[in-house]
Amino acid sequence: MLSPYGLDIIESCLTCKMRADRIFCDLPTSALQSFESIKYATAYPKGAVLFVEGQAPRGIFVLCKGRVKLSICASDGKTLILKIAEPGEVLGLSATVSGKAYELTAETIDPCQVNFVKREDFLKFLKEHSDACFKVAEQLSEKYNVACHEVRSLGLSHSAGEKLAKLLLEWSSKNGEAQKQEPRLKLALTHEEIAQMIGTSRETVTRLFADLKKRQILQAKGSTLVIRNKAALRALATSS
Amino acid sequence: MLSPYGLDIIESCLTCKMRADRIFCDLPTSALQSFESIKYATAYPKGAVLFVEGQAPRGIFVLCKGRVKLSICASDGKTLILKIAEPGEVLGLSATVSGKAYELTAETIDPCQVNFVKREDFLKFLKEHSDACFKVAEQLSEKYNVACHEVRSLGLSHSAGEKLAKLLLEWSSKNGEAQKQEPRLKLALTHEEIAQMIGTSRETVTRLFADLKKRQILQAKGSTLVIRNKAALRALATSS
DNA sequence: GCTGCTGTGTGACTTGTGTCACAGCCAGCT
DNA sequence: AGCTGGCTGTGACACAAGTCACACAGCAGC
């Protein structure tokens, strides 16, 4: 197969090495075989839009490689980034199951490999394979959980600083750096995008970062960020 | 059976009149029979707590009668009401499926009848009845959808007035009054609770209501509210 | 080199709304 | 009655953070 956008395409789910690590993909062979027959392996460049908020659901997108930005946006153009989806995640799942419009917009921020499955095919597949159906329920629970966290962060924070601190701690806990004395993390997003993740303005994010650096809580080394004072950051994250 | 808290207990799901109207309860007889054998029909007074945010999931609660307040709260006591659950809804579902802690707190605001099912029993039931499993996926999609709406309302609104207007329109659309010229709705919540629903303070809600009344958009008739100017309210709800 | 473009840093000003404080009101007690 | 407690109304004030306005840095392409 051709390798578009510099991707190394995973041909078959059955031989995929990452299969066991992934919540959805770890299905019994019989289910996986039938999944194999209805999926379309596709590749997208960076910046491609998988689906847009408000569209009728065409089907699900299983993310195999690359990252996808999930966002909602208001009529005035203001955007809120809900999360950055990682490989293994199923996108457009809830809309496809319920038949309601996609509730958010999915846009690739890396070159991505994606397995697409049409809605009718997927629903039929679920009816026939109850273990897959259970996996779907698990994925949806996970998504709901994340959404609840987002609600908590947006609704119960007193200040933008609190939300930023929460976000940084969350990031550092994801890449396994959290237990280290001085966790490091790659800043893959612009201030603008960070602002959209915590529902504030770009300038505020810049100011907050400047403040955290002045107070020796954070330190920038090129594009990686070092958390120099975990305790202080955690204090900021809980009611500042 | 005794009628505690002034409730008329529905004994069996099989003979329940409301069955067909409810998303979860409308199962094939075989599944319902097996559900019947694992459920515990219980009744709660007003103000009872079904489960608390952070608890390990004991199981699911199918709400048959009465309303339940679903909320999350911060360490400082600040509370955010996510929604008021109506009969037919399944509570604690995502936590029970995923095994993670309940993500919110459920408290009755009416006398309620509830069918409780233990986690192990419920998971076994799901494995055996794939149609129930699909219903669960549908319910979870619904919950996710609602959470997304909440995120949008909290994260993309510019002002408290906008969020209040959205909430009022949503309420009026629920009880089928929306298409009327001047929809009416019962104000079942206090200003404090409304404030907790839109993430603002009690005083702000009071002030906003006063303002809406002064501008002839709203009118209070006892405890029912009349929306006198739907268009103006809608204008407020979209970027004010 | 110059030109654009995108991202960052900062100052000045404005405004929404949280907080505190208190007053009035109604319902349900004893 | 008279008291209590929860809810609602309103004023005064402070402050976080949005907005607008620029300056500058880095980096691409020609």
DSSP string, A55-70: SPP-EEEEEEES-EEE
List the 78-107 stretch of B: residues with Cβ below 8 A of A: 78, 80, 82, 93-95, 97-98, 100, 103-104
Closest nucleotide to the alpha carbon of A198, via C1': D17
Per-residue pLDDT of chain B (240 residues; tens, 9 = 90+): 445 666 667 778 888 878 877 878 888 888 899 999 999 999 998 889 999 999 999 999 999 989 999 999 988 889 999 999 999 999 999 999 999 999 999 999 888 999 999 999 999 999 999 989 999 999 999 999 999 999 999 999 999 999 999 999 999 998 777 778 888 898 889 999 999 999 999 999 999 999 999 999 999 888 889 999 999 999 999 865
pLDDT in tens, A10-48: 778 888 878 877 878 888 888 899 999 999 999 998 889
Which residue out of A130, A198, A240 would a mutagenesis test of the B interface target, given it has the greatest number of B Cβ atoms within 10 Å?
Answer: A130
Give the pair of three-digit tokens for residue B193: 């609770």
B143 touches chain A (CB under 8 A): yes
- First-to-last alpha carbon distance for chain A, in angstroms, is 54
Q: B186: which strand partners? A: B224
Q: Is A138 left (phi over 0), alpha (psi -120 to 50) or beta?
A: alpha
Q: For residue B77, how far is the Cα from the chain centroid?
A: 21
Residue B223: the pLDDT is: 83
Between CA B79 and CA A152 the distance in angstroms is 10
Which pTM value belongs to this model? Answer: 0.91
| pLDDT: which is higher, A140 or B182 | A140
Residue A140 in contact with residue A24, Cβ under 8 Å? no
Q: For residue A89, how far is the Cα from the chain centroid?
A: 8
pLDDT in tens, A55-105: 999 999 999 989 999 999 988 889 999 999 999 999 999 999 999 999 999
pLDDT tier at A110, thresholds 50, 70, 90: confident
Residue B78 in contact with residue B120, Cβ under 8 Å? no
Between CA A5 and CA B18 the distance in angstroms is 54
Is the per-residue pLDDT at A2 higher than 50? no
Q: Which residues of A touch B152 (CB under 8 A)?
A: 72, 74, 80
Give the pair of three-digit tokens for residue A229: 């004072």
Q: Which residues of A touch B92 (CB under 8 A)?
A: none
Q: A39: which strand partners? A: A117
CA-to-C1' distance for A158 and D9, Å? 25
A124 touches chain B (CB under 8 A): no
Q: For residue A127, how far is the Cα from the chain centroid?
A: 27
Query: Residue B149 is inside which H or E element, if any?
Result: helix B130-156
Beta strands in chain A (DSSP E): 39-44, 49-51, 59-65, 68-73, 79-85, 90-91, 105-108, 112-118, 184-186, 218-221, 224-227
List the 28-57 stretch of B: residues with Cβ below 8 A of A: none
The one-letter amino acid code at A40 reads: Y
Which residue out of B71, B131, B133 would a mutagenesis test of the A interface target, given it has the greatest number of A Cβ atoms within 10 Å?
Answer: B133
- According to DSSP, the β-strands at B112-118 and B105-108 are unpaired
Instruction: Look at residue B47 and give its three-state secondary structure.
Output: coil
- According to DSSP, the β-strands at B79-85 and B90-91 are unpaired
Q: Which residue of chain B has the CA closest to A98? A: B138
Query: Residue B29 is inside which H or E element, if any?
Result: helix B29-38
Query: Residue B28 is inside which H or E element, if any?
Result: none
Contact across the interface for B74 and A239, Cβ inside 8 Å: yes
Residue A57: the pLDDT is: 97
Contact across the interface for B141 and A73, Cβ inside 8 Å: no
Contact across the interface for B145 and A98, Cβ inside 8 Å: yes
Residue with tokens 């049409």: A118
